[in-house]
Every structure is written in C-alpha cells, then in structure tokens.
Amino acid sequence: MPFETIEILQDLFFVQRGYLNGNHFVYRSDFPILIDTGYISDFVETHTAIATLGVDIADVSLIVNTHTHCDHIGGNRKIQEKSRCEIAVHKVGKHFVDTRDDWSTWWRYFCQEAAFFRCTRGLEDGDIVFLGPHEFRVVHTPGHASDGIVLYNRREKLLISSDTLWERDMAAMVVRVEGSGALFHMLESLDKIESLDVERVYPGHGSPFLDFKKALLRSRRRIESYLRDPAFLGNDLIKKILVYTLLMRKQVKDTEFFPLLMDSRWYRETVDLYFEGRYKGKFEEVINDFLNRGIVELDNGFLSTTVKP
C-alpha cells in the first residue's frame, strides 16, 4: 500500500494513512522519534512506512502518543519490545495505561484490538517535547479523548492537531465514555488552540491543510448541531463506528453483522440513548444508506467498506 509522506520540517516526516489508522510522524536520526503508531492489525504497513524513511524500529528512542485510542497506539508494544524505547502520553492516558483501564481508552467499549505498553512519561499542558532540534509545546485538548493533546511548533507556526481538529469532519464524540460534558470540553479545547498562530495543520486523519480558522469554525458548528439535536450526534457516532468495525474486521458476513453489533456495549447504549432502542431499524437504515452511497459493499454474502484503512 503506498503512503503519502511529506517532510514537514528537516528530517521530520508526516505519514498519511487512512480512516482506521491514525496518521503518524517519523523523526529520522540516529535516535528516531515517532508520533503515533497506527492500528495494531496494520502494523506490517506501519513498519514498512517507517522503514521506507530509512528508520529501523529497533533504533526508536521515543514514541509520543497524542492519545491512547487504538488507532494511534497500535504499534507501541511491538516497537517498544524491539527498541526498549520511552513512551510519552498525557498524564491522564498514562493513568489509563498504568492501571490497565481498557474502558477509558475505548478499546473494550468498541471491541477493539489493542495491547498495553510501558508508559514512561506523563505529559502535561505546556510541556515541551523535542523532536531533534524541533521544539513542540504540548496543549491538552480533552473532548474527543480525555487524554488528547496537540503539539505546536511556534517557530514554524505548525500544528500537529491529531483528532482535536480535522479539516472537514470531526472525530467521534462518545459521551458514554468521555462524560456528558465532552462536547463542552471540546469547545473549550477549540477555544484554546484558536489562540495559537497557525499556518499549517497536520491532523490525525486526512490530509494536511492551511485554513486553520475555517476548520475551527466547521468543528464548532458541528458541535453546536450536536447540542441542538442529540440524534445527529447519535447518527454520526453509529456511522463512524460501523465503518471502523468493518475496517477492523476487513469483512463481515451480512447475516452476522447485526448480531455482532448487538453483542457490543457501544451499539446497544447508543441506540438506547438516542433512538429509543430501535436496534434493528437503525442498523438497517444506516447500512442501506451506506450501500446506496457505495460506502459499504455486499459481495457474495459479505459486507466490506470502500473507505481507505
């Protein structure tokens, strides 16, 4: 699978992945540093992307994670086993990892594959992280994830925005795990990063972009729509996680997909919360919409998604 790779600062590369795997960053040196490591089942592709840049994972000295969701920490354990590298996450995420809390990380709630690792540093708001000579300030941005951070390089006006800010969409908002104040925390996080002088943004999913202010406006409007109409949030969450589930499993037998969802906590709770327990009706509505739009395909009795992993 080809990767879109951009050198954004000297020896610091942005590697664009897809919808399942978070984008990641590679600082190439004698002591390489990584930011985020994709999803665990796609580690072969992650390894290839890193090796293509001339970096041996056995030499990695540090991994910085923007949060502890499965699509950003999937390669951590394998890389740490090879390299014995340090791993830094926000102190909230470090607590999750240290206490083996696979609920707050979303892994158990969404039936995701992930592996714990040894977290050696808990980051705080305002901390400085060095990627070689490049200085980045840690900004804590809870909302999508209680341990979420972005990284800001003031000199180059460059923001590694992770899942706090995408260009035209928003990361999933899960109030059943993050709490009923999550939408307000997200608005506060957007207010916090709006004060930064930003010319280039490198998000957790999707392509880099330049119009920082417009992306902020889109995100605020999306959150305001969620607050006005909670069913809009429920629909958005179900659609996002159905696609994630198909990406994680590659394909699912059509007669087994609904029972699979009914065995999960997230699907039942989401439909109970937003759609009065209409489990089958909501499933059929979303799947038929996806099939009509070409987002999901049915081939020989198996469902898969056309979305890039």
Rounded CA separation 67/70 (Å): 9
Token pair recorded at residue 111: 């039936």
Q: Is the pTM of this model over 0.85?
A: yes
Token pair recorded at residue 36: 């985020």
pLDDT of residue 3: 73
- Residue 230 C-alpha from the chain's centroid: 22
Rounded CA separation 206/37 (Å): 15
Token pair recorded at residue 200: 């280039």
Task: Estimate the crossing angle of helix 230-249 against helix 279-293, to 10 degrees.
Answer: 70
| β-pairing verdict for 86-90 and 149-153 | unpaired
DSSP class of residue 308 equals -
Q: Tokens 């928003």 identify what position?
A: 170
Q: Tell me the mean pLDDT per 10 residues along the chain, length 309.
A: 85 95 97 97 96 97 98 98 98 98 97 97 98 98 98 98 97 97 98 98 97 98 97 97 95 97 97 97 98 96 95
pLDDT of residue 2: 58
Q: Tokens 């499993």 identify what position?
A: 249
* E strands in 200-284: 200-203, 252-253
Rounded CA separation 205/157 (Å): 20
pLDDT of residue 224: 97
pLDDT of residue 267: 98
